Protein backbone atom coordinates (compact mmCIF):
# COMPACT_ATOMS: atom_id res chain seq x y z
CA UNK A 1 0.00 0.00 0.00
CA UNK A 2 1.36 3.35 -0.97
CA UNK A 3 2.04 5.60 1.98
CA UNK A 4 0.05 8.45 0.54
CA UNK A 5 -3.16 6.50 0.88
CA UNK A 6 -2.80 6.24 4.63
CA UNK A 7 -5.00 8.61 6.54
CA UNK A 8 -3.70 11.65 8.42
CA UNK A 9 -0.35 11.91 6.83
CA UNK A 10 0.74 15.50 7.29
CA UNK A 11 3.49 15.69 4.71
CA UNK A 12 3.36 14.34 1.17
CA UNK A 13 5.11 10.99 0.88
CA UNK A 14 8.40 11.36 -0.91
CA UNK A 15 10.57 8.69 -2.45
CA UNK A 16 13.83 7.97 -0.66
CA UNK A 17 15.75 10.05 -3.19
CA UNK A 18 13.05 12.74 -3.09
CA UNK A 19 13.28 12.79 -6.85
CA UNK A 20 10.31 12.93 -9.20
CA UNK A 21 7.53 10.65 -8.06
CA UNK A 22 6.01 7.99 -10.22
CA UNK A 23 2.87 10.00 -10.78
CA UNK A 24 4.75 12.85 -12.34
CA UNK A 25 1.58 14.46 -13.60
CA UNK A 26 0.31 14.93 -10.07
CA UNK A 27 -0.37 18.43 -8.91
CA UNK A 28 1.70 20.50 -6.56
CA UNK A 29 3.83 18.30 -4.40
CA UNK A 30 6.19 20.84 -2.91
CA UNK A 31 9.88 21.13 -3.61
CA UNK A 32 11.66 22.74 -6.50
CA UNK A 33 12.26 21.23 -9.92
CA UNK A 34 15.57 19.84 -8.78
CA UNK A 35 14.40 18.62 -5.42
CA UNK A 36 15.26 21.76 -3.51
CA UNK A 37 12.75 23.06 -1.03
CA UNK A 38 10.59 25.84 -2.34
CA UNK A 39 8.96 28.43 -0.16
CA UNK A 40 5.28 28.00 0.58
CA UNK A 41 3.38 30.03 -2.02
CA UNK A 42 1.36 32.88 -0.62
CA UNK A 43 -1.94 34.26 -1.96
CA UNK A 44 -0.10 37.28 -3.38
CA UNK A 45 2.23 34.91 -5.19
CA UNK A 46 -0.80 33.20 -6.72
CA UNK A 47 -2.08 36.56 -7.93
CA UNK A 48 1.31 37.46 -9.36
CA UNK A 49 1.55 34.08 -11.09
CA UNK A 50 -1.88 34.52 -12.59
CA UNK A 51 -1.03 37.94 -13.91
CA UNK A 52 2.48 37.25 -15.20
CA UNK A 53 2.72 33.60 -16.12
CA UNK A 54 -0.71 32.20 -16.94
CA UNK A 55 -1.09 34.44 -20.03
CA UNK A 56 1.72 32.30 -21.51
CA UNK A 57 -0.11 29.00 -20.99
CA UNK A 58 -0.70 28.57 -24.72
CA UNK A 59 2.99 29.14 -25.48
CA UNK A 60 3.97 26.60 -22.81
CA UNK A 61 1.59 23.99 -24.17
CA UNK A 62 2.51 24.67 -27.78
CA UNK A 63 6.24 24.24 -27.14
CA UNK A 64 5.58 21.05 -25.14
CA UNK A 65 3.40 19.78 -27.96
CA UNK A 66 6.02 20.42 -30.64
CA UNK A 67 8.75 18.85 -28.52
CA UNK A 68 6.82 15.75 -27.42
CA UNK A 69 4.63 15.51 -30.56
CA UNK A 70 1.88 13.98 -28.45
CA UNK A 71 -1.17 15.78 -27.12
CA UNK A 72 -1.54 13.95 -23.80
CA UNK A 73 2.18 14.11 -23.03
CA UNK A 74 2.24 17.80 -23.89
CA UNK A 75 -0.57 18.47 -21.45
CA UNK A 76 1.28 16.66 -18.66
CA UNK A 77 4.55 18.40 -19.45
CA UNK A 78 2.98 21.85 -19.67
CA UNK A 79 1.11 21.31 -16.41
CA UNK A 80 4.21 20.12 -14.57
CA UNK A 81 6.16 23.06 -15.97
CA UNK A 82 3.53 25.61 -14.95
CA UNK A 83 3.40 24.26 -11.41
CA UNK A 84 7.20 24.26 -11.20
CA UNK A 85 7.11 27.85 -12.40
CA UNK A 86 4.61 28.64 -9.64
CA UNK A 87 6.76 27.08 -6.94
CA UNK A 88 9.82 28.89 -8.22
CA UNK A 89 8.30 32.22 -9.04
CA UNK A 90 10.93 34.03 -6.99
CA UNK A 91 13.59 32.85 -9.46
CA UNK A 92 11.95 34.89 -12.22
CA UNK A 93 14.20 37.65 -13.55
CA UNK A 94 13.54 39.62 -16.69
CA UNK A 95 11.20 38.37 -19.39
CA UNK A 96 8.53 35.88 -18.33
CA UNK A 97 8.09 33.95 -21.56
CA UNK A 98 11.70 32.79 -22.10
CA UNK A 99 11.88 31.88 -18.40
CA UNK A 100 8.72 29.79 -18.62
CA UNK A 101 9.69 28.15 -21.90
CA UNK A 102 13.06 27.18 -20.41
CA UNK A 103 11.16 25.38 -17.64
CA UNK A 104 8.93 23.66 -20.22
CA UNK A 105 11.98 22.53 -22.11
CA UNK A 106 13.67 21.13 -18.98
CA UNK A 107 10.46 19.38 -17.99
CA UNK A 108 10.27 17.82 -21.43
CA UNK A 109 13.81 16.46 -21.17
CA UNK A 110 13.10 15.13 -17.65
CA UNK A 111 10.04 13.40 -19.04
CA UNK A 112 12.03 11.85 -21.84
CA UNK A 113 14.79 10.71 -19.52
CA UNK A 114 12.27 9.08 -17.21
CA UNK A 115 11.06 7.02 -20.12
CA UNK A 116 7.53 8.35 -20.01
CA UNK A 117 8.00 8.78 -23.71
CA UNK A 118 5.80 6.07 -25.15
CA UNK A 119 5.37 7.72 -28.51
CA UNK A 120 7.45 6.62 -31.46
CA UNK A 121 10.07 9.32 -31.40
CA UNK A 122 13.25 7.28 -31.27
CA UNK A 123 16.09 7.93 -33.68
CA UNK A 124 14.51 5.65 -36.28
CA UNK A 125 11.34 7.68 -36.21
CA UNK A 126 13.33 10.89 -36.56
CA UNK A 127 15.02 9.56 -39.65
CA UNK A 128 11.78 8.29 -41.14
CA UNK A 129 10.06 11.58 -40.51
CA UNK A 130 12.95 13.59 -41.83
CA UNK A 131 13.10 11.75 -45.12
CA UNK A 132 12.03 13.79 -48.06
CA UNK A 133 8.61 12.59 -49.13
CA UNK A 134 8.08 11.44 -52.69
CA UNK A 135 7.12 14.01 -55.31
CA UNK A 136 3.39 13.40 -55.39
CA UNK A 137 3.13 13.49 -51.62
CA UNK A 138 5.27 16.57 -51.46
CA UNK A 139 3.21 18.52 -53.92
CA UNK A 140 -0.04 17.57 -52.20
CA UNK A 141 1.39 18.63 -48.87
CA UNK A 142 2.84 21.81 -50.35
CA UNK A 143 -0.53 22.66 -51.89
CA UNK A 144 -2.28 22.18 -48.57
CA UNK A 145 0.25 24.38 -46.80
CA UNK A 146 -0.10 27.03 -49.50
CA UNK A 147 -3.85 27.01 -48.92
CA UNK A 148 -3.19 27.74 -45.28
CA UNK A 149 -4.03 24.25 -43.99
CA UNK A 150 -2.87 24.40 -40.39
CA UNK A 151 -2.72 20.61 -39.89
CA UNK A 152 -0.51 20.17 -42.95
CA UNK A 153 1.82 22.88 -41.70
CA UNK A 154 1.94 21.37 -38.21
CA UNK A 155 2.78 17.96 -39.67
CA UNK A 156 5.56 19.51 -41.74
CA UNK A 157 7.02 21.21 -38.65
CA UNK A 158 6.77 18.02 -36.61
CA UNK A 159 8.71 16.18 -39.29
CA UNK A 160 11.75 18.38 -38.70
CA UNK A 161 14.32 16.66 -36.41
CA UNK A 162 14.46 17.92 -32.86
CA UNK A 163 17.15 20.56 -32.41
CA UNK A 164 16.15 22.25 -35.66
CA UNK A 165 12.44 21.99 -34.90
CA UNK A 166 12.97 23.49 -31.47
CA UNK A 167 14.87 26.48 -32.89
CA UNK A 168 12.14 27.09 -35.47
CA UNK A 169 9.33 26.89 -32.92
CA UNK A 170 11.08 29.21 -30.47
CA UNK A 171 11.87 31.77 -33.18
CA UNK A 172 9.01 31.70 -35.67
CA UNK A 173 6.12 30.65 -33.41
CA UNK A 174 7.13 32.09 -30.05
CA UNK A 175 9.14 34.98 -31.53
CA UNK A 176 12.02 34.78 -29.09
CA UNK A 177 15.27 36.55 -29.98
CA UNK A 178 18.39 34.64 -31.00
CA UNK A 179 19.94 35.56 -27.66
CA UNK A 180 16.96 34.23 -25.71
CA UNK A 181 16.97 30.98 -27.69
CA UNK A 182 20.70 30.59 -27.05
CA UNK A 183 20.11 31.06 -23.32
CA UNK A 184 17.21 28.62 -23.18
CA UNK A 185 18.87 25.88 -25.19
CA UNK A 186 22.37 26.44 -23.84
CA UNK A 187 23.74 26.50 -27.37
CA UNK A 188 26.05 29.19 -28.80
CA UNK A 189 24.32 31.84 -30.89
CA UNK A 190 25.98 30.58 -34.08
CA UNK A 191 24.55 27.10 -33.43
CA UNK A 192 21.11 28.57 -32.91
CA UNK A 193 21.39 30.44 -36.21
CA UNK A 194 22.51 27.41 -38.18
CA UNK A 195 19.79 25.21 -36.63
CA UNK A 196 17.19 27.78 -37.53
CA UNK A 197 18.51 28.06 -41.08
CA UNK A 198 18.40 24.28 -41.50
CA UNK A 199 14.90 24.03 -40.07
CA UNK A 200 13.62 26.70 -42.42
CA UNK A 201 15.32 25.03 -45.39
CA UNK A 202 13.62 21.70 -44.57
CA UNK A 203 10.31 23.45 -44.17
CA UNK A 204 10.81 25.39 -47.41
CA UNK A 205 11.37 22.11 -49.27
CA UNK A 206 8.17 20.62 -47.91
CA UNK A 207 6.29 23.79 -48.68
CA UNK A 208 7.60 23.80 -52.23
CA UNK A 209 8.86 27.32 -51.66
CA UNK A 210 12.28 26.64 -53.13
CA UNK A 211 10.88 25.43 -56.46
CA UNK A 212 8.97 28.64 -56.99
CA UNK A 213 12.19 30.62 -56.90
CA UNK A 214 14.22 30.51 -60.13
Partner 1 sequence: MSACPDKQLLLHALADGELDAGNVLALEAHVVTCAGCAAELVAIREVKARLRSTRPGYAAPSGLLDRVEAAIDDSARPPPRRRAGLETWVLGGGMGAIAAGLALFAFLPSGDGLQGQLIDAQARSLEALHLVDVATSDRHTVKPWFNGKVDFAPPVVDLASQGYPLVGGRLDRVDGKRVAALVFRRRAHVINLFVWPGDAPAAPALSHKQGYSLVRWGRGGLVFWAVSDVDAGDLMGFQADFSAATR
User: Considering only residues 28-67, where is the footprint of partner 1 by CB under 8 A?
Assistant: 28-30, 40-43, 45-46, 49-50, 54, 57-62, 65-66
Binding-site member from 69, 105, 165, 171 for partner 1 (CB under 8 A): 171
CB 124 to partner 1: min, Å:
25
Q: Is 103 near partner 1 (CB under 8 A)? A: no
Size of the site for partner 1 (CB under 8 A): 71
Contact present, 104 and 76 (Cβ < 8 Å): no
CA angle 80, 83, 88 (to 5 degrees): 120
Q: Is 138 near partner 1 (CB under 8 A)? A: no
The rounded distance, in Å, linking the Cα atoms of 99 and 184 is 8
Q: Is 185 near partner 1 (CB under 8 A)? A: no
The rounded distance, in Å, linking the Cα atoms of 80 and 74 is 10
Q: Is 213 near partner 1 (CB under 8 A)? A: yes
Binding-site member from 178, 183, 185, 187 for partner 1 (CB under 8 A): 178
Give me the numbers of helices (H) and strands (E) for the chain, helices first please. 11, 0
DSSP state of 14: -
Binding-site member from 76, 110, 166, 180 for partner 1 (CB under 8 A): 76
Q: Is 8 near partner 1 (CB under 8 A)? A: yes
DSSP state of 151: H
CA 195 centroid distance within chain: 17
Amino acid sequence: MNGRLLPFRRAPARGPASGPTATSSGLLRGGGPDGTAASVPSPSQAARFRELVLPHTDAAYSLARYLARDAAAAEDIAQDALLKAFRNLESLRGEVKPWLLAIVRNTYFDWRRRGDDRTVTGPAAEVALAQTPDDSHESAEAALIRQGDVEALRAAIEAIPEPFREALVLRDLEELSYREIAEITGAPMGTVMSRLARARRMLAERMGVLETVP
